[in-house]
Amino acid sequence: MSLETKMSGLTFKNPLMAGCAGITEWLEPAEKWLKAGAGGILAKSIATDPNMRRYLRPTFYTLNRHGLKGAMTECELGSIYPPEVWVKEMQPRFVELCQKYNATFIQSIIGTGADTNDWVELAQLVESAGAEGIELDPACPIGATASAEYASMELGDNPEFLAEVIGAVKKAVKVPVGVKLSPTIKPLDEIAKLAREAGHADWCTLVNAAGGFHVDVESEQIMGANTIAGYIPGPSLKWWGLYKIWQVRQVCDIEISGCGGIWDADDALQYILMGCPTIQVVSSVYFDGPRVFTRILDGIEKFMDRKGYSSIEDFRGKAYRQIKLYKDLPMEEEIKLEPTPIYPAFDVDKCNFCMRCVTACIRDAIKADEAEGKIAADPMLCLGCGFCVGLCPTSAVKIIHGKTGRVVWDGVGTCNFDWVNW
Ligand SMILES: Cc1cc2nc3c(=O)[nH]c(=O)nc-3n(C[C@H](O)[C@H](O)[C@H](O)COP(=O)(O)O)c2cc1C
Ligand code: SF4
Ligand code: SF4
């Protein structure tokens, strides 16, 4: 079995990169990620504009005490190192470290919204210091208000300029060039398309963190930084990330490195099944350290072993290829009730009579009698909505087709909407 993967001509020993943030700004932690198996380092963005090289301290506002495990808002900007210092003192050591661990090294850069030269100069600098790939970061939601120069890029009001920047950088360097986008820029898919087609970007990282706020109700204050610095990475981003991949792939064929809310192998595999050749972890590493890498890689290997896959290509993109537009799915002519053609069937041996489904059903369709060992739904009341299936803690509920008795959905994978033709 091999976890090797390729993206835009770069080869990675496995798809898992330590993503772009403070976790890839300092050598000692970077070595921990590499020791734990990281297949690549996407080094912290270096920035031309001095406003992007300083940030508010304290910087991180974790939300554990607010019931959001593994979530935070934060307001870090680019690397504190000026580019000329980074490429002289830090980047060569990162490159050497990556070579030692057979990992791929990509450098992120942040130019200004003023002209393309800025980005070109930065790109040439980091290429000459050994970057195997360069990622442009024109979409940091905090940068939008921290620096006037940067803002014109982030707000997405100048996608043509971004395409120009990518085109100019591509001409000026030999290594592949990617672009990172935030889910809160608009219109993200059009920007990605321009970046690909007009700018010839090789890959796109989706997604950067989203802009946002958390309100601390007891103090009646904005949590952490009371500015639009609110920058929310972590678990809530995964759905955005997966959705944005689909959205961008609808308009262009750019390769996508998946990022956002990856904590364990299940998250990572979701991005690979959506077609990503590489994936990046950031905030999970802040919370959980190097074991994030070992548990993800171990989980991917176990998954591949169980499924009999010998390479990432064997399953990459499998879920993405199943996505259809709503209008193209089999649909009833009209929703007929009383009785509904599909309704739940219960496995009484699995049911522990917790009554969750009984309480949750908005149509009061489920009647249960623990003493008698009976539970059933009334098709005259049931909507066939499926809510009780996913809710049941013991997987005792399936939706079946009344006429044929065939299973429509057992809570695993996609429903069989073809039942409308049975
Ligand atoms: C502290 C911190 C700093 C970050 N700095 C950068 C950066 O300099 N450049 C960049 O492109 N993305 C940066 N990001 C965004 C991450 O690379 C990533 O896109 C985002 O956090 C979502 O991934 P996650 O849910 O795994 O954290 C930063 C994220 C965090 C948490
Ligand atoms: S499928 Fe929906 S309406 Fe029918 S019993 Fe379950 S929750 Fe109630
Ligand atoms: S939720 Fe599941 S276990 Fe609980 S009563 Fe309903 S069928 Fe039984």
Which pLDDT tens digit goes with each residue over 389-412?
Answer: 999 999 999 999 999 999 999 999
Q: What's the confidence (pLDDT) of residue 142?
A: 74
Q: With the C-alpha atoms ordered 107, 111, 117, 121, is the resulting torsion angle positive or negative?
A: negative
Q: Is 64 exposed, middle or buried (0-12, 13-18, 19+ CB in 10 A)?
A: exposed
The pLDDT, as a whole number, for residue 63 is 92
Instruction: Say what the pLDDT of residue 157 is.
Output: 65
- For the CA of 381, the nearest atom of ligand 2: 3
Give dist(CA 28, CA 44) in Å, integer: 14
3.30.70.20, 3.40.605.10, 3.40.50.11540, 1.10.1740.10: CATH of 330-421: 3.30.70.20
- Whole-number Å distance, alpha carbon 37 to ligand 1 midpoint, is 20
Q: Which is the closest atom of ligand 3 to the Cα of 354?
A: 4
Residue 339 is predicted with a pLDDT of 95
Closest ligand to residue 20's CA: 1
Q: What is the pLDDT of residue 161?
A: 86
Task: Give the class (CATH, top level) of 5-322.
Answer: alpha beta
Domain boundaries, the chain: 5-322, 330-421
Predicted local distance difference test score (pLDDT) of residue 154: 60
Q: Which residues of the chain register pLDDT less than 50?
A: none
CA distance 360 to 385: 12
- Confidence at residue 199, expressed as pLDDT on a 0 to 100 scale: 86
